[in-house]
Structure 1
Amino acid sequence: MTAGTWVAPQWTPLRTASFSSRVAVPTPPPVPTDELRQAIWAQMEQEERRGQGRRQRLQQHAAPLPQAPVAQPQQPQTAANSAATVVGCVIVLGFFVLVLVSILGAIFSG
């Protein structure tokens, strides 16, 4: 939908014997005059010139952007890291087994 095709609805009351309701009556879009068109074009040209001046000033005063830090290469995983990972997993699994055994013990003991 564009501004040239949009029709603003106007609400007008419709009265009948038993009730009243509101009906949308389409109205044609306003027809712009030549003076209005010239004023709009003049404003658009002024804003375009103002935007170009701002861009030029920003380019003159812009500081260079800082460079992103270079990523360090990943260290290969050592045997100590592997052993620590295995020990951590065993501890977590042992905790879950203890919780499961205590829950099952509570269910079947009584």
Structure 2
Amino acid sequence: MSQMVRHLITLARGENTGVNRTKEHLEIENKLKETALHQAICIGNNDTVKLLIQEDSELASFPKDGTSPLYLAILLEEDIIAETLYNASHKKISYSGHHSIYERLFA
């Protein structure tokens, strides 16, 4: 999965067009206000989490009004991912949860 994400990030950078849309694409949310980072956490892929955070360090505190990636990692008992998020954020990270997490778990 990390290789596919790396390829998609390269395409979003627009090296051929000169238009970098990486941040814009990484911050796209689904109806549960989740980003690609949330999805990487759900499947437990720490390499992809690292790759996404390297591209957009603000992604760990995104979305502002939804379930934080750290909260999701802790809820899913992804301890290594939670540590990765915490360390990448320079220890300034949201751990807020949201009711939408229950929609994901019990849908």
| TM-score between the two structures when normalised by the length of structure 1 | 0.19
Q: Is the strand fraction higher in 1 or 2?
A: 1
State the structure with more CA Rg: 1
Could you say which structure has the greater relative contact order, defined with CA pairs below 8 angstroms and 6 or more residues apart? Answer: 2
